Structure 1
Amino acid sequence: MTTELIPREEPGRELDTLRRRLSQAAHALSRPSRLTLLSYALCAPLVLLLGACFLLPLLYVLHTGLHNPVVGSAWPEFVRALQADHANPPGEVVFRTLARELQQQRTDEAYKRTLKPFSQQEPELWRLLQHIADTLPPESFASAKAWFIGADPAWAEADTWKMIRRIAAPYTTHNVVNALDVGLTPEGTLRVKPVERRSYSLVIRDTVITGLWVTLIALLIGYPLAYRIVTMPRTPARVVLNVMLVLLWTAVLVKAYAWIALLDRNGVVNGFLLAIGVSEQPLALRPSRLVLIVTMTYALLPFMVLPVYQNMRRVSIDQLRAAVSLGASPPRAVFTAYVPATTPGIAAGCLLVFALSIGYYTLPALVAGPAETTISMLMVEFALTIANNGMAATMASIVLVFSAGLYLLYARVFAPIRGEIARPGALRVESK
């Protein structure tokens, strides 16, 4: 029997060969494969589309709410001189520059647009500028500062120039504090407006309360409905789901006018009440907060039912039977064995319904009208009627902050719960 001997490398050479092979393997793992590069290339159009159509508009909205270009673009020399002189009141150069800007624009239509931020934020300062512009002599004078202070002593006060600096700044928080009905002192500190002067904060409060009521009612109706769909036979369950999808796909205008036809003074409900003799004259059923909550719940109910239903499909109904067999009462079995397992679906449905309800425009505008103003109606009024894009962007940013905050809460609180529930044996029910 012949034994063939395989030559072995020296120990030092074997170590070098092993190192070289490990280095080649690490380099191959770190280098992206063609399949990985292809997947990145296929995802690039989607990323660009999301950035161009979603992220950039959101950033633009946030920027518009804080940007204040009116004074800086109309009086650029005055703003530059004001930024260079930090004294209150400033020196002769700032007064002379302001006089020159007023002389050039006081007969122009742009002059009114320039003074608009002053009239919105500080009416007294706006009247002071109007008075100076009307009495400003056409000829030059030896000392502009002395003339301004002689025309009105307010020009010598530090608070006047603090307010001018704040309004003339390229970025301002005026829209934010105005939307929250919080005023600013000349020093820039916050002061809460009296109750009789609050308007926008009350609209925000009422919109949030309406959204909470809509979410609660949708949950109370949607959770049992989703459970009934899960426990139904397949054919009836498909029918109910198709009805939900039809309700979801129906245009908002169709839903709105259907409720108007029902609740109008000459609508179906009033006609029925008059026919059976319950009332002698038509009732004013709308506009009212109750009708707004009912119609929004009707429109947003599918957004509660579908996430809860999808979550319930992954939860075995045997958990309820096991809890009852261990001695728990049926209500206790539901709240200790079944509801915790469906918490992620409840959270997702509540997040969807609440976020959509505080930003709903068409249904509240048509069914409730101006009597029940919402944040979205304020946005449209600022953007299209008043032409105040800064306030419109600020109202949109408030809705965005609410939605983002709710999502972060969901991701922070309910995602760990979902992972814990998915772990085998995580749910336990104590017997009596």
Structure 2
Amino acid sequence: MLALLAPSVMFTALFFVLPLALFMFRSVDNPEIQTHLPRTAQVMQGWSGKGEPDEAAFAAIAADLGALRGQPSLGLIGRRLNYALPGARGLLTKTARRLPIAEGASAKEALIAIDKQWGDPALWGVLHQQSGRLTDFYLLTALDLRKSPEGELQRVAPDQRIFIDLYGRTLSVSLTVTALCLLIGFPVAAVMARAGKRAASWMLMLVLVPFWTSLLVRSTAWVILLQNEGLVNKTLMALGIISSPLPLVFNRAGVIIAMVHVLLPYAILPIYSVMKGISGNHLRAAASLGASPLRVFRTVYLPLTLPGVAAGGTLVFVLSVGFYVTPALVGGPGDQMIGYFIAYFTNSAVNWGLASALGAFLLIVVAAIYLALGKLVGFNRLRVR
């Protein structure tokens, strides 16, 4: 048995667990300072982080910056420190151009003469906090937190608090989409399960049709359908239901409509699979004992379908929290979800540490919700047998 499982276990470990672990590690990885400012990192590790450092710290940063002058790694260090202290990149570049310091001169006085910011304890506090091999900077940033120069946790300025609201928006949209998919998918699956073989085959094919089209094409199609001159608004106006076009695109409504369309098959198929296995004898037995149709549905049929409902809901929710393309195309600036920002920090800002931290917290949230749901309804009901 172990020999049969070994290939699949190795494949999962190499191509799923390992890449995921390496990417998650970037949320605490901090090699830049120790690699490119080795003297400074060594001095910072022996400093308490309070007040102003001694002459040795100024000499160390002067020597490190002098060695980096004209090298690409100077920009790398500047960008890394700029995350924690805006303006640090310009300070390092300016200082490196004015080095080296005259022999015998005080490094402290020379650096402060170049820029008075070198005498600011906040700058040295940032250098001290960021000089370790591992850092909690990205994890704190992903929670709208930061450390003061003295090492105390603080919330960032109100105009910089974006990520907590972003998590709330992502969960809100995902839960709404999940609820709508279940409300629409349940009756559709019930009709399919009760239909004849030929009719069920046609309906199943219609459910599967969206899988034959790329996500990008489906999302773009909704932009065309939902725009002011689109088919939806024109039809509603022709029927006299509305007098002017409804704003259905580049807003939250458009995002939810498009996401429900994309994810609906993932809710229908697990529910349909469970419903097909429910024997009609149970329903007839309950009816023969005097139960009304509503009571038969509520006490017999619905509980039997819960494994499919739980599996479909979990699948839709897990997929929806990571959506990126559909909100980017159909939504507005205030409708982007966390997947958009993970992609932005990965590809555009090239801040892999923050992208990894956002992904790590998203993974934790999804895992927590899955565990809570499993505890509530039973893990066995989250699997379709």
CA gap 1:335/1:276 in 2 versus in 1, 3 angstroms: closer
Deviation at 1:402, TM superposition (A): 3.0
Amino acid at match of 2:9: V
The correspondence of residues 251-270 of structure 1 with structure 2, limited to 5 A, is 251-270=214-233
Q: Is the 8 A contact 1:217 1:297 kept in 2?
A: yes
Is 1:140 the counterpart of 2:93? The answer is no
Q: Tell me the distance in 2 between the aligned counterparts of 1:414 and 1:87.
A: 50
Q: Tell me the distance in 2 between the aligned counterparts of 1:336 and 1:387.
A: 54
Range 122-131 or range 185-194, more displaced: 122-131
Deviation at 1:288, TM superposition (A): 1.2
Of 229, 235, 242, which residue of structure 1 is paired with 2:198?
235
CA gap 1:124/1:371 in 2 versus in 1, 3 angstroms: closer
Give the equivalent residue in structure 1 for 2:77. Answer: 114
Range 303-312 or range 168-177, more displaced: 168-177
Deviation at 1:75, TM superposition (A): 0.8
CA gap 1:281/1:82 in 2 versus in 1, 3 angstroms: same
3-state SS in 2 of match to 1:403: helix
Q: Is the 8 A contact 1:351 1:406 kept in 2?
A: no
Range 281-290 or range 203-212, more displaced: 281-290
Is 1:82 the counterpart of 2:60? The answer is no
Amino acid at match of 1:239: W
3-state SS in 2 of match to 1:65: coil
CA gap 1:279/1:226 in 2 versus in 1, 3 angstroms: closer
TM-score (norm 2): 0.85
Q: Is the 8 A contact 2:68 2:96 kept in 1?
A: no
Give the equivalent residue in structure 2 for 1:247. Answer: 210
Amino acid at match of 1:52: L
CA gap 1:151/1:228 in 2 versus in 1, 3 angstroms: same
Of 351, 358, 370, which residue of structure 2 is paired with 1:395?
358
What are the ranges of 5 or more consecutive residues in structure 1 without an aligned counterpart? 1-38, 423-432
Q: Is the 8 A contact 1:117 1:167 kept in 2?
A: no
3-state SS in 1 of match to 2:350: coil
Q: Is the 8 A contact 1:285 1:291 kept in 2?
A: yes
Q: Tell me the distance in 2 between the aligned counterparts of 1:417 and 1:329.
A: 30
Amino acid at match of 2:275: M
Give the equivalent residue in structure 1 for 2:369. Answer: 406
CA gap 1:188/1:343 in 2 versus in 1, 3 angstroms: farther
CA gap 1:87/1:366 in 2 versus in 1, 3 angstroms: closer
Q: Is the 8 A contact 2:237 2:245 kept in 1?
A: yes
Give the equivalent residue in structure 1 for 2:337. Answer: 374
Q: Tell me the distance in 1 between the aligned counterparts of 2:279 and 2:145.
A: 52
Amino acid at match of 1:81: V
3-state SS in 1 of match to 2:8: helix
Amino acid at match of 1:319: H
Give the equivalent residue in structure 1 for 2:6. Answer: 44
Give the equivalent residue in structure 2 for 1:428. Answer: none
Give the equivalent residue in structure 2 for 1:219. Answer: 182
Q: Tell me the distance in 2 between the aligned counterparts of 1:333 and 1:411.
A: 26
Amino acid at match of 1:401: I
CA gap 1:106/1:282 in 2 versus in 1, 3 angstroms: farther
Q: Is the 8 A contact 2:311 2:381 kept in 1?
A: no
CA gap 1:77/1:410 in 2 versus in 1, 3 angstroms: same
Q: Tell me the distance in 2 between the aligned counterparts of 1:141 and 1:266.
A: 76
Q: Tell me the distance in 2 between the aligned counterparts of 1:120 and 1:93.
A: 25
Q: Is the 8 A contact 1:61 1:397 kept in 2?
A: no
3-state SS in 2 of match to 1:260: helix
- Aligned residue-pair number: 382
Is 1:181 the counterpart of 2:144? The answer is yes
Identical columns (%): 33
Deviation at 1:236, TM superposition (A): 1.5
Deviation at 1:91, TM superposition (A): 4.0
3-state SS in 2 of match to 1:139: coil
3-state SS in 2 of match to 1:191: strand
Q: Tell me the distance in 1 between the aligned counterparts of 2:217 and 2:98.
A: 58
Range 165-174 or range 152-161, more displaced: 152-161
What are the ranges of 5 or more consecutive residues in structure 2 without an aligned counterpart? none
Amino acid at match of 1:251: S
Is 1:61 the counterpart of 2:61? The answer is no
Give the equivalent residue in structure 2 for 1:360. Answer: 323
Deviation at 1:212, TM superposition (A): 0.7
Is 1:97 the counterpart of 2:60? The answer is yes
Give the equivalent residue in structure 2 for 1:123. Answer: 86
Give the equivalent residue in structure 2 for 1:293. Answer: 256
Q: Is the 8 A contact 1:287 1:371 kept in 2?
A: no
Deviation at 1:157, TM superposition (A): 7.1
CA gap 1:326/1:183 in 2 versus in 1, 3 angstroms: farther
CA gap 1:347/1:275 in 2 versus in 1, 3 angstroms: closer
Deviation at 1:367, TM superposition (A): 2.2
TM-score (norm 1): 0.77
CA gap 1:279/1:348 in 2 versus in 1, 3 angstroms: closer
Give the equivalent residue in structure 2 for 1:22. Answer: none
Of 253, 264, 275, which residue of structure 2 is paired with 1:312?
275
